[in-house]
Amino acid sequence: MIAIGCDHGGFALKQEILAWLDHEGIEYRDFGCYEEKSCDYPEIGHAVAKAVAAGDYEKGILLCGTGIGISLAANKVPGIRAAVCTDCFMAEATRQHNDANILAMGGRVVGPGLAVRITETFLNTEFSGEERHVQRIQKIDKID
């Protein structure tokens, strides 16, 4: 189960991602926003991050204009590793190396076709589990 959310800058891109999740039969909860009206990305980012950190959802997807603001908010929640990705290499690497649990993208940065491929890569790539990566993530956790 995926937790997904956006602000107005990521709203149109979220509709594309939701359509792909529906097509693939991937279950999700949409945390909003539900219209293109201006809203504040920290609230949505925090809500999705809290739900993922609590273990209620396997992974999260967050969308704002750049992917940056909403990921900054999400990364304030202990246990969250939210990664802004603009290509499939980043999505694959952040899963394999960082065990990222939230994908963030920018609706004003990536087009819908690329965003769907990035999402697919993120959701289908496993953490490598290699010791050096585990240790580095533990060091991040200690900062929390």
User: Catalytic site residues?
Assistant: 64, 97
- Cβ 115 to ligand RB5 shortest distance, Å: 15
Task: Let me know: does 133 contact 141? Beta carbons within 8 Å.
Answer: no
Within the chain, how many helices (H) and strands (E) appear?
A: 6, 5
Cα 12–chain centre separation: 16
Cβ proximity to ligand RB5: between 60 and 65 the closer is 65
For residue 31, the tally of other CB atoms under 10 A from its CB is 21
Cβ proximity to ligand RB5: between 70 and 99 the closer is 70
Phi-psi region of 32 (alpha: psi -120 to 50; beta: other; left: phi over 0): left
- Cβ 144 to ligand RB5 shortest distance, Å: 22
Cβ proximity to ligand RB5: between 5 and 9 the closer is 9
- Cβ 67 to ligand RB5 shortest distance, Å: 7
Cβ proximity to ligand RB5: between 53 and 109 the closer is 109
- Cβ 5 to ligand RB5 shortest distance, Å: 12
Name the closest residue to ligand RB5 (Cβ). 69
Q: Say how far apart CA 142 and CA 60 lie, in whole Å.
A: 22
- Per CB under 6 A, residues contacting ligand RB5 are 7, 9, 41, 64-66, 68-69
Which residues are 2's β-sheet partners?
28, 59
